[in-house]
Each structure stands twice: as C-alpha cells, then as structure tokens.
Amino acid sequence: MWKAQLKAVIFDLDGVIADTNECYNQANRKLAEELAVTISDAENDSFKGIHRSEIVRAIAAKTGRNYQEAEIVALGVKKNEYYQQMIADLSPRDLLPGIKRFLQELTDADMRIALASSSSNYHFVLERLGISHYFHAVADPAKVERMKPAPDIFLLAADLLNVPYAHCAAIEDGEAGLTAVLATPMFSVGIGTAPFLAAANWNLADTAGLKLAELRQRFAAR
Ligand code: CA
C-alpha cells in the first residue's frame, strides 16, 4: 500500500507552543468585567481557538443588550489591547516543555515547519518566544475566509509550505482546532487530557512527549 511520508509539521500556537491561554482568559475576563457580566472558566475554555470577534459577540450577548457591529469591533480592539498588555512579558521561558527541542529535531531532519494560529498576534508572540527562525511559513488568519473549526488555516499553512496535505502532521490542543485538522487529510496530534482529544491520531498528555521518531512511527502506522 502506498504511504505518504511525513514532510511537514504544522503547529497551533496557544496551548501548544506556549501557555498563553491564561493571557486570553484574563483579557476575556477583563472585557466581561467592563460590560458588567461574568464568564465561567468553562466558557473561557470554550473560547479557545475561536476568533476574537466571535468571543466578543458571545460576551456582549450576555448583557442582553443589542450591540451595533461598530461597537463589537471597538470591543474587539479593546480586548486585543488587554491581551497585548499580557503577552508583552512573554519570553523563551514561556515555551511549553520540549517545544524548543522538538523544533530543533524537526529542523535537523529537514522537516518543513509552519504555524496555523487564529491569533492575530502570532508574529509578536513568536518573536517574544525567540522561535521565529524555525518557521518556514506562518499562515495569516486574516487571509482565510473561515476560522477554526473550518480547516482553512491548516490548508493555507500546508499550501504556503508547498507540501501536500497527506504529508503533514498538525498539532492542536483546542476543540475547534482539532475539528479543523480532522477535516483535512493531515495526521492529527492532540495535546492534553480533555476527552475530545482522544479523536486525534496521536493524543499526548503534554508537549514534553513530542518526539520526531515516535511521530514518524505513528504517522507511518496510521
Ligand atoms: Ca490552542
């Protein structure tokens, strides 16, 4: 049987490369506070990987008042300012365990590496983390029509690398993100212990277990 070879690895950013989820949670809570509503941790979790405007809409809806589109946009700008204040302090120390080693392993093996994040701050975050130079391509979420859970951003990342989808592995920790990967021919890697992650081709509890040799093995055995 013909088997595709692993040629590229596509990363989600928040919760896979760096633990920025708390920065998002805080920015969301701060916006909710300003609108005099509260959001639970579960709600905050459900926002993972969802586009900013959708999160703002969900938080604004809790007030029971109708917001004009221009107000939603303004709230989104404000929420992003809060987020940027939180990520300004990011440094290489905030990389999740094993990520730097894994990126180096991929580089040494001549793998193609791309980023597929919904975050409009991806460029700044990669810079702060000191890992921009590892990436051959970063997919700009502003360039895709549909956000996660649609597969568009992962397909764009593979297209930018010029690697066929079946030769790619994609790493996600969020439900919307994993749904996006599962809608592609890519090999899916799920990071974390949430039940939905069991749907991934390879589910690891955390990033420390990411090893190229095992990824290759599992990719070939799919
Ligand atoms: Ca994520």
| pLDDT value of residue 46 | 87
Choose, from 14, 41, 108, 110, the residue flagged as catalytic. Answer: 14
In a domain, 3, yes or no: no
pLDDT at position 157 is: 98
Residues with CB under 5 A from ligand 1 (ion): 12, 14-15, 173-174
Q: How far apart are the CA of 21 and the centre of ligand 1, in A?
A: 8
Spell out a b/e string for 202-214, using b for 16 or more CB atoms within 10 Å of the CB, else e.
Answer: bbbeebeebebee
Instruction: Single out the residue in 87, 107, 133 at which a domain terminates.
Output: 87
Ligand 1: centre distance to CA 163 (Å): 23
Q: Do both 98 and 114 map to the same domain?
A: yes
Total domains present in the chain? 2
In angstroms, what is the span from residue 24 Cα to ligand 1's centroid? Answer: 11
Does 44 reside within a domain? yes
Residue 51 pLDDT? 83
pLDDT in tens, the chain (222 residues): 567 899 999 999 999 999 888 888 999 999 999 999 999 999 998 887 788 899 999 999 999 999 999 999 999 999 999 999 999 989 999 999 999 999 999 999 999 999 999 888 899 999 999 999 999 999 999 999 999 999 999 999 999 999 999 999 999 999 999 999 999 999 999 999 999 999 999 999 999 999 999 999 999 999
Boundary (domain end) residue, out of 34, 67, 87 = 87
CA gap 164, 114 in Å, rounded:
13
Among 54, 87, 120, the domain boundary falls at 87
Q: Are residues 127 and 170 in the same domain?
A: yes
Cβ-based neighbours of 15, under 8 Å, separated by 6 or more = 21, 48, 96, 173, 174, 191, 192
pLDDT at position 2 is 61
Domain residues for 117? 8-18+91-221
Please say if 45 is a catalytic residue.
no
Question: Which pTM does this prediction carry?
Answer: 0.85
Output the domain CATH number for residue 123. 3.40.50.1000
70 C-beta neighbours (distance < 10 Å), count:
8
Compute, in angstroms, the gap from residue 1 CA to the centroid of ligand 1.
Answer: 34
- The alpha carbon of 14 and the centre of ligand 1 are apart by a number of angstroms equal to 4
Determine, yes or no, domain membership for 2. Answer: no
Q: State the distance from the centre of ligand 1 to the C-alpha of 203, rounded, in angstroms.
A: 14
How many angstroms separate the alpha carbon of residue 65 from the centre of ligand 1?
30
Answer yes or no: is 43 within a domain.
yes
108 belongs to the catalytic site: no
Q: What is the CATH number of the domain that holds 54?
A: 1.10.150.240
139 and 206 housed in the same domain = yes
